[in-house]
Structure 1
Amino acid sequence: MAFTTDIAAKLTRDASSFPQDGRPAARLQRLLDADLAAVHLFSRTARPKATRLLAIAISKLGNGWIYLLLLPAVFIGLGWRSWPVVLLAAANAALLHILYPMIKRRFSRMRPFHVDPRLPSLLKTLDQHSFPSGHAMTLTGVLAPIVLAWPAMTVSAAVLVLSMAWSRIATAHHYPSDVVAGVALGAAVAFPLSRYALAFL
C-alpha cells in the first residue's frame, strides 16, 4: 500500500521538481521527462490548422458522439446479433466508469498543460486529472465485444484507438502513459468479460 501511495504521489509531480534520491527515483524522473517530451512532440503535430481541428474533433467525438456513430455500423455489420454486443459494450463502459473515478482520485496526476504552460490545451477538459485516459479506456472497452463478435472490425478498431490516443496527447490533455494505461485498463476489464459473455450467446 505504501509503495502504491508513493508512486501515486510521484506521478503527480512535475519531473523537473522531482528530487534525485537514488536510482529508482532517477529512473522514474527519466520516464516522467520522456513522457512530457512526448507530449511536446505530439503537440507540435497539432499546430497546423488542419491537424489541430482534427485533434479537437476526435477528442470531442470521444465525449460520447463516436458511440452514436458506431451503433449503426454494428447493426449493419452484425444484424440480429447486434443487441447482445451493444449491451455488452454499454455494460463494459458502465463498469469501467465505476473504477475510473477511483483511479483518477488515487493518482491525481496533473494534466500536461498544467505542468508545462508552454503546452496549449486545445479544448476544455471534462475533469481535472489526467491518469488514466478515460477516452482511451472507454473506447477500448466498447470496442472489445465488437471486435470479438466481428473480427473484420479489428483493423478499424485499432485505427480508432490510435487516433483517439493521438488526439488526447496532441491536445495536451494526456501523457502517453495515461493513454497506455487507459487502453490497458479497458482491455483488461472488457475483453475477458466480453469473451465470457459472448460464449453463452
Structure 2
Amino acid sequence: MNQPRASELFRRADELEQSICRTAIAWARRRRLAPFFRTVSRLGDGVFWYALIGVVCVIEGWESGGFMIVTALACTAIYKLLKLWLVRERPFVTHNDITCDAKVLDKYSFPSGHTLHAVCFTLLTAEISPVLALCVLPFTLCVALSRVVLGLHYPSDVLVGAAIGFCIGAAALSI
C-alpha cells in the first residue's frame, strides 16, 4: 500500500492549497453566498441526482435511468475505496484557520465524491438529453465550487474528483 507516500504528497499539497481555500471561503462569506452553497451541497448529497434520474426516466425511459443508477453505484464504490486508501484529511481538520460551513458525509476529502458524481451525471445527461444537460451543467459547476467555499475540500480534491467522474462517465458511455 502506498499510503505513506500519498500522505507526504497530500501534506505538501495541503500547504500549497490552504491559502486558496481561505480565499475562496472569505470570498463566499463576503458575498453572503454560504447559505446558497450549503443548499447546493445538500442537494448534491443525492436529492438533485435522484430527481434527475426520475426526469430522465420520464423523458427517455427506464433503460436510460437504470443506466445512470448503475453508473452512480460504480462512482460511489470507486470514490469510497479511494478515500479509504488515500486518507487525506479535510482542510478544516488540518488547518485551524479553515472552518467547515456544511454537513460532512464522510471523514476524508480526496477525491470529492460530490464533484465526481456531478461531472459523471452531467456527461451521461449530455449523451442522453443534451438540452437537459444544459440545465444540469450550472448546478454541477456550483457543486464543485461549493466543496471548496464550504471548507470541505481542497481544490485538487475537486479537480481529481471531476477527472475521475469524467472517466467513469466516458467509460460507461463506451460500453
Query: TM-score normalized by structure 2?
Result: 0.88
| Percent identical residues | 25
**Alpha-carbon distance between aligned partners in 1 of 2:51 and 2:151, rounded to the nearest angstrom:** 25
Between Structure 1 and Structure 2, how many residues are aligned?
A: 175
Equivalent position SS for 2:156: helix
Aligned 1:155-194 pairs, distance under 5 A: 155-194=134-173
Residues 72, 96 of structure 1: CA spacing in aligned structure 2 closer, same or farther, 3 A cutoff? closer
Unaligned 5+ runs, structure 2: none
Shift in Å, 1:73: 3.9
Query: 2:62 is matched by which residue type in structure 1?
Result: W
Query: TM-score normalized by structure 1?
Result: 0.78
**Alpha-carbon distance between aligned partners in 1 of 2:168 and 2:53, rounded to the nearest angstrom:** 21
Alignment partner of 1:149 out of 128, 135, 157: 128
Equivalent position SS for 2:98: coil
> What's the RMSD between the two structures over aligned residues?
2.1
Indicate the structure (1 or 2) with the bigger Cα radius of gyration.
1
Residues 67, 117 of structure 1: CA spacing in aligned structure 2 closer, same or farther, 3 A cutoff? same
Aligned 1:41-190 pairs, distance under 5 A: 41-48=23-30, 50-75=32-57, 79=59, 81-190=60-169
State the Cα deviation string for residues 48-96 of structure 1 (Å, max 9, x = none): 47401011111111111112332454356xx2x2322211111111011
Shift in Å, 1:6: 4.8
Shift in Å, 1:187: 1.1
**8 Å Cα contact 1:46-1:52 kept in structure 2:** yes
**Alpha-carbon distance between aligned partners in 1 of 2:87 and 2:32, rounded to the nearest angstrom:** 32
**Alpha-carbon distance between aligned partners in 1 of 2:85 and 2:38, rounded to the nearest angstrom:** 28
Unaligned 5+ runs, structure 1: 14-28, 197-201
State the Cα deviation string for residues 30-50 of structure 1 (Å, max 9, x = none): x54332221111111221474
State the Cα deviation string for residues 100-147 of structure 1 (Å, max 9, x = none): 222101110010011111111112211110000011111222232211
Equivalent position SS for 1:159: helix
Equivalent position SS for 1:46: helix
Q: Is it true that 1:10 corresponds to 2:15 in the alignment?
A: no
Residues 35, 155 of structure 1: CA spacing in aligned structure 2 closer, same or farther, 3 A cutoff? farther
**8 Å Cα contact 2:88-2:109 kept in structure 1:** yes
**Alpha-carbon distance between aligned partners in 1 of 2:39 and 2:88, rounded to the nearest angstrom:** 24
Alignment partner of 2:19 out of 15, 37, 42: 37
**Alpha-carbon distance between aligned partners in 2 of 1:178 and 1:167, rounded to the nearest angstrom:** 12
**Alpha-carbon distance between aligned partners in 2 of 1:138 and 1:174, rounded to the nearest angstrom:** 15
Equivalent position SS for 1:47: helix
